[in-house]
């Protein structure tokens, strides 16, 4: 088991997209009320007095859509300015990024992941559940602006859905050839989308790699990521291709992260809710940060025993929240 030093922090459970792989189609979600969210002060207290003292030094801000969080640039600046912060990154859908990229960079953010599941505006809008004016161009502008202001690495997250965007694998992989963009293919997961998942299943990373290998060739990259991605490169390409294979190639033994939900629940595994801690309620009840540190240490100690169990059993009870609510 790797040292667990990486915390994914969900800033908000709301999102301005309704991606097929993230939210149940047609369902009305019970969003967290504003007063139930961790405040900026509470979040910074947990980071400084609980997480950093037990060994967390790398943080990723997620959602929902993190750019919907009020004062998000100020929060980025506060976390980036901590002496112990070794790495700060963000995952976003990119819709608001064009106007915010420079401010985020100036605040100290240096790495960013942007979701881009299709290069076809119509398919893109289908995936994100958009029925109005196309949003693809706004996201593309956000990607270009992030690259322009200097985010490096700039990573593009792609979830391949059979029958929807699987014919675009080569076009999406080609984005890594001319620019230092790092395209990451993520296997479709059964969280909040069991009906869609059951109907269409998923395509393994090995199959995607084979498509790319037959077109250009593929070599293992010398660039290593902070997470579970297996990193490859098209020969001569400026960027890389990453494959996150949580369905076909279990990487529990390499997992180095925990997740903090927007309402303060700390969980050690994306796909297992059997063990988690309600840090927000404890903090508001006056529980000392020293006591909270001990609880987090205990969760760290038992993390190797908490994994994807139940994934193949046909049960769905461990997935009580959608991906947007977890902050995956």
pLDDT of residue 177: 97
Residue 139, preceding bond cis, omega within 30 degrees?
Answer: no
Q: Tell me how far apart the alpha carbons of residues 65 and 233 are, in angstroms, rounded to a whole number.
A: 29
Q: Tell me how far apart the alpha carbons of residues 26 and 29 are, in angstroms, rounded to a whole number.
A: 9
Q: Assess contact for 15 and 324: CB atoms under 8 A.
A: yes
Q: What is the CATH number of domain 6-326?
A: 3.20.20.70
Q: What is the mean pLDDT of the chain?
A: 87
Q: Domains of the chain: which residue ranges? A: 6-326
* pTM > 0.75: yes
193-202, 235-244, 268-277: segment of lowest average pLDDT: 193-202
Residue 20, preceding bond cis, omega within 30 degrees?
Answer: no
- Which two three-digit tokens encode residue 234? 């098209």
Residue 54 has a CB neighbour count (10 Å cut-off) of 15
Q: Tell me how far apart the alpha carbons of residues 60 and 31 are, in angstroms, rounded to a whole number.
A: 21
pLDDT digits (tens, 9 = 90+) for 256-281: 889 999 999 999 887 676 789 999 99
Q: What is the mean pLDDT of residues 286-305?
A: 94
Q: How confident is the model at residue 133 (pLDDT cuts 50, 70, 90)?
A: confident
Residue 248 has a CB neighbour count (10 Å cut-off) of 13
Helices (H), 81-203: 97-107, 121-128, 136-149, 169-173, 175-178, 194-200
**For residue 270, which of 203, 201, 187 has the smallest C-alpha distance?**
187
pLDDT of residue 21: 73
| φ, ψ for residue 113, nearest 5 deg | -115, 130
Q: Assess contact for 109 and 90: CB atoms under 8 A.
A: yes
Q: Is the pLDDT of residue 311 over 50?
A: no
Q: Assess contact for 240 and 7: CB atoms under 8 A.
A: no
| Sheet order of strands, 6-10 included | 219-220, 230-233, 240-244, 181-186, 154-159, 111-115, 87-92, 58-62, 6-10, 257-260, 265-267, 277-278
Q: What is the mean pLDDT of residues 295-306?
A: 89
């Amino acid at each position: 088991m790797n040292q667990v030093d990486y915390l994914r922090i969900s800033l908000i459970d709301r999102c301005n997209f309704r991606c097929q792989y993230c939210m149940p189609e047609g369902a009305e979600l019970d969003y967290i009320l504003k007063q139930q969210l961790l405040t900026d002060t509470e979040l910074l207290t947990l980071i400084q007095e609980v997480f950093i003292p037990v060994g967390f030094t790398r943080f990723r801000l997620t959602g929902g859509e993190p750019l919907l969080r009020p004062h998000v640039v100020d929060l980025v600046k506060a976390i980036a300015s901590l002496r112990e912060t070794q790495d700060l990154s963000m995952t976003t859908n990119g819709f608001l990024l064009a106007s915010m990229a420079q401010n985020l960079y100036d605040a100290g953010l240096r790495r960013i992941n942007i979701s881009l599941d299709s290069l076809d505006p119509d398919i893109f809008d289908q995936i994100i559940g958009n029925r109005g004016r196309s949003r693809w161009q706004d996201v593309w502008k956000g990607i270009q602006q992030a690259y322009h202001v200097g985010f490096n690495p700039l990573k593009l997250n792609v979830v391949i859905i059979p029958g929807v965007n699987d014919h675009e694998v080569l076009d999406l992989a080609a984005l890594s050839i001319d620019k230092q963009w790092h395209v990451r293919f993520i296997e479709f997961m059964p969280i909040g989308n069991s009906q869609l998942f059951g109907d269409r299943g998923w395509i393994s990373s090995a199959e995607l790699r084979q498509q790319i290998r037959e077109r250009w060739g593929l070599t293992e990259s010398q660039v290593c990521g902070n997470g579970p991605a297996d990193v490859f490169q098209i020969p001569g390409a400026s960027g890389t291709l990453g494959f996150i294979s949580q369905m076909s190639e279990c990487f529990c033994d390499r997992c180095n992260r925990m997740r903090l939900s927007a309402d303060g629940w700390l969980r050690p595994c994306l796909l297992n809710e059997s063990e988690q801690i309600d840090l927000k309620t404890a903090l508001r009840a006056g529980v000392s940060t020293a006591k909270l540190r001990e609880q987090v240490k205990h969760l760290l100690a038992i993390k190797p025993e908490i994994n994807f169990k139940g994934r193949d059993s046909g049960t769905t009870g461990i997935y009580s929240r959608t991906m947007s609510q977890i902050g995956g």
